A and B are shown apart, each in its own frame.
Chain A
Amino acid sequence: MRRSLALVALGAVLPASAIRAGSVKAQLGRYLFYDRRMSVNQTTACATCHRQELAFTDGRARAQGATGQLHPRSAMSLVNLALNRAFGWSDPGIHSLEEQALKPMFATTPTEMGLGAIREDFLRLLRRDPTYTELFPQAFPNQPDPYTIGNVAQALAAFERTIVSRNSPWDRFHMGDATAISEAAKRGEILFFLDGGPSCFRCHNGVNFTDGEYHNTALYAAYVAPNRGLFEFTGRSADLGRFKTPTLRNIDLTAPYMHDGTVATLEEVLDHYAAGGRAHENPAKDKLMHGFPMTPQNRADLAAFLRSLTDEDLIHNRDFADPWPK
């Protein structure tokens, strides 16, 4: 009677490049991802804000750059990025991971890594570091000078595409292991996917639990710069406060929540949605933010379901860990 799975769900839809973890380009990207020398003061790597044990987030409400400046938004999880059409909380203009990788390297408002200030020094470092002098020519053969920022971005993107989360207890439940998740999580799953109930799946759908769209979840009555969501890029009033739906995979590891990390726990997130948001007068509030009745049992069950999306393999997979000798 219970469901089973013929194929590994996520593997069936991810592009092959996403799971080619052994490619030289991805290996190179992994070294770069963990290389603090990429930042202006050699304190910050990509991995500083994207920690494996936190499903590649940083546990902070707002990300902090190399120079100590706070980013207006929190660091997003990097899992299953190969499925994404757009990246970041609200920038619809970035359509590839390669483009996205450049952004933290060179951003100045605020400074994230500050690579712009040490760009030439960093390229020189690549040309003399034995790890990189071995990997760059293999990753980019037939290039007279493979040590370029463009190739750094390509390698980072190749590594990020290998970060796949697809073995949570919930995935195993759908592969036929009826005991993989608790009865509470099973009840929570029903609520999550129940149209006319919480209807969470309306935005958090598909194998990666995101519709890839932008929604105003009535977090604020008025969103102020530079956190006005999609509006920052389109200038349309209807886009005020609209941020991209994040994946819910490993959501238990990625607190605090929302684009600015102002909601501390999963239970508070559920309360937020059950109440239909906290700023009901917001004219741009998404119509899907209808609120719903939620008993204490429902709340506990929904939280149990969300926690069943935590993939222990992801956070312990050595292929994603820091490759540099300690």
Chain B
Amino acid sequence: MKRKLLYAVLMALLSSLWLRAAELRPTPGPAGPYRVSANRILDRVGRSYLIRGTELAAVTLDPVKPGDLGALSASALVTIRQRLNMNAVRLPFGAVEFQENAAYASRVAEIVRTANRLDLLVVLAPFPADEPSSFWTGLGRSFRDNPNVFFSAVSQSAVSQSAVTAIRAAGAQQPIVASAQSFPIDDENVIYQTDASYATARTESDLADRVPVLAVGLDPHLSEHSAECAAFPSDPAAATSMLQATLEYFDAHGISWMVSAFRPGQLITDTRTFTGTKLDNGWTCGEPPGAVGIGLAVLAHLWHSDPHGLFTVNGDAGNFYLARGGRATAYGPIMADRAMGLRPGQAPPTVLGNVSVRITDARGIARLAPLLYTGGGWAWLNFVVPDDVAAGPAEIAIVRTDGSLAHGRSIIADVAPGLRSASFDGRGPALGLVSQRMPDGSVRTFEASRCAGYDCGTVPLPLSSSVVTTVRLVGSGFRHADSKLDFQLTVGDVAVPVLSFGPLLGEPGTDQVTVRLTDDLIGYGETDLVMKVRGALSDVVRIYCGAAR
């Protein structure tokens, strides 16, 4: 009898763990072509799709500042997808520049391609939107074959109908976002956009009962003496609650949303670390709020997490998928008494200072993880996910020697690839060893990146058709791939062949994948390198394919 009771309690606990962890999953990525049916947006297999996204910085041809990755970089886009768990971006670009400057139009197309490759749908948002029909037809023609873009024809004036007609005239059938004030528009594939506001009562559901609705905005405009700022509670917790309640309202009513903008001072503090802004430091309406913003609160909503809780992420890719045998990083209330690392040659212990990491897997089995480093206080901790944990939802707990603990959720996967950057933050120059076999048979090796302190840069790789160049990239989370066929690696737009992969000896939790840089990359310049393993996306790092042209 007792055993049955114990079993029932155990199963209830496991079910509860499973259900809670089941919430922790990526928003569905783009799977167009899309169509509108009643008040829903349906993907190519008829699944309902809700936009969860943010606006990007407007497209420019300005060079990226040194030490910056740029607001429109692939690293920014993969951060939006993997870290913020969004599935769409709104891309503002100048309509005039797009028509008159081929380089500009090419840049827009490149950003769209990159975003799509990184599992983001793109809402094309030319400004001003009251361009003549010929512009919209031209834009429609440029993107009509891309199933993972929507068009935004939102304008203050009533041009939406003519813009929609013009886009359709080009043969483009993707959904078009139009102003709710234009409702109804004579087209089957229209999404109606409303401006979300804190200062007014929520009414979006009235329209959302009939047609798909996209709510935009939701930045509290803290630097302005505005009704929006005034309506935003001055207490950070109350403000976070209000934001979350608004997002939950959208979730409950099947309303798509795009909040704020992925720009410094809005969702992020800068375009190097892409750190999410938070509300904790407080603000006064009308005064520059510094790095205060809703970034962390939005992230917490999308991951069903407490903004002040423990987050455990892939040690290289930075998302919530941890690989068996891979590196992971927990951050938040670690509360170690002090920072501690390993001594040279020391095997990773399961207790470091006053903390341990306990992983309870989907089977309910708890294991202590080997630890690599812990910071002191509210900090981060690096550990290795034991190889024998079960794939599926898991609870990660920081257990301290005084008996207290902090815990959060993650998903354990067989494969969750991450590429290591030279700066160890999952972005910027790749960490890798280049090997070149020269025509005379000699072999030359060197690092793919170099650092001076925290300032890291790529090393130009002198590619040539007479030289065989391979790069052994460092990362984690892909040792359990079945074969090289599981890998898709692209450098820029070029797919590169995988020669080998597996654990990197002597480096706990670290893997290597060796690729050959093909002749297509000669003179390609510094570009993005990204990997998919069994369809799972890595972070984006940079590599410099230089030389001979």
Contact = CB atoms under 8 A, between A and B. Distances in A.
Interface of A: 1-10, 12-13, 174, 183-184, 186-187, 189-195, 197, 199, 201-202, 205-207, 295-298, 301
Given A9-B402, A201-B377, A187 B407 contact: no
Interface string B270-304: 00000000001111000000000000000000000
Contacts of B379: 193-195
A301 B403 contact: no
A13 B378 CA distance: 22
A188 to B, nearest CB: 9
Interface of B is mostly: loop
Contacts of B235: 183-184
A38 to B, nearest CB: 36
B105 interface: no
Contact of A1 (B282, B306, B376): B306
Contacts of A195: 339, 375-379
Interface in B361-402: 375-379, 401-402
Contacts of B402: 7, 9-10, 12-13, 207
Interface string B497-523: 000000000000000000000000000
A252 B339 CA distance: 29
B444 interface: no
B376 A5 contact: no
Contacts of A190: 280, 308, 333, 378
Contact of B403 (A6, A193, A194, A295): A6
A120 B43 CA distance: 94
Given A1-B409, A5-B403, A193-B333, A187 B376 contact: no
A9 B305 CA distance: 25
Top 5 A-B pairs, shortest CB-CB distance: A297-B282, A7-B403, A183-B237, A193-B377, A3-B406
A12 to B, nearest CB: 4
B186 to A, nearest CB: 47
B242 to A, nearest CB: 13
Contact of A8 (B282, B309, B403): B403
A183 B236 contact: yes
Contacts of B407: 1, 3-4
Given A183-B237, A205-B337, A298 B282 contact: yes
A12 B237 contact: no
B338 interface: yes
Nearest to B280: A187
B405 interface: yes
Interface of A is mostly: helix
B335 interface: yes
Given A2-B306, A187-B308, A193 B282 contact: no
A4 B309 CA distance: 12
A190 B333 CA distance: 8
Contacts of A4: 405, 407
B469 to A, nearest CB: 40
Contact of A301 (B280, B337, B401, B408): B280
A174 B237 CA distance: 19
Most buried by B among A3, A191, A298: A3
B273 to A, nearest CB: 13
Nearest to B234: A297
B310 interface: yes
A205 B280 contact: no
20 contacts: A1-B309, A1-B310, A1-B407, A1-B408, A2-B306, A2-B309, A3-B333, A3-B405, A5-B403, A6-B404, A12-B403, A183-B237, A189-B333, A194-B377, A194-B379, A195-B377, A205-B377, A206-B337, A297-B283, A301-B280
Given A1-B310, A1-B407, A192-B377, 4 more contacts: A3-B310, A4-B405, A5-B405, A205-B376
Contacts of B310: 1, 3
A9 B354 CA distance: 13
Given A186-B308, A193-B335, A5 B282 contact: no
B378 A194 contact: yes
B236 A297 contact: yes
B338 A205 contact: yes
Contact of A295 (B281, B375, B377): B281
A290 B184 CA distance: 61
Contacts of B401: 13
A6 B356 CA distance: 14
B381 to A, nearest CB: 12
Contact of A199 (B280, B306, B377, B405): B377
Contacts of A13: 401-402
Nearest to B290: A295
Nearest to B305: A1
Contacts of B375: 195
A295 B337 contact: no
Most buried by A among B236, B377, B409: B377
Interface string B216-238: 00000000000000000001110
B434 to A, nearest CB: 34
A105 B187 CA distance: 93
Contacts of A8: 403
Contacts of B236: 183, 187, 297
B280 A297 contact: yes
B448 to A, nearest CB: 30
B134 to A, nearest CB: 52
B405 A295 contact: no
Contacts of A2: 306, 309
Nearest to A301: B280
A194 B310 CA distance: 14
B317 to A, nearest CB: 22
Contacts of A295: 281-282
Contact of B376 (A189, A202, A297): A202
B312 to A, nearest CB: 11
Contacts of A9: 402-404
Most buried by A among B309, B337, B378, B407: B378
B404 A5 contact: yes
Nearest to B400: A9
Contact of A3 (B237, B283, B404): B404
Nearest to B240: A183
A220 B9 CA distance: 60
B405 A193 contact: no
Nearest to A12: B403
Contacts of A186: 308
A174 B404 contact: yes
A189 B378 CA distance: 9
Contacts of A1: 305-306, 309-310, 407-409
Contact of A193 (B280, B283, B378, B404): B378
A1 B406 CA distance: 8
B376 A201 contact: yes
Most buried by A among B281, B305, B338, B409: B281
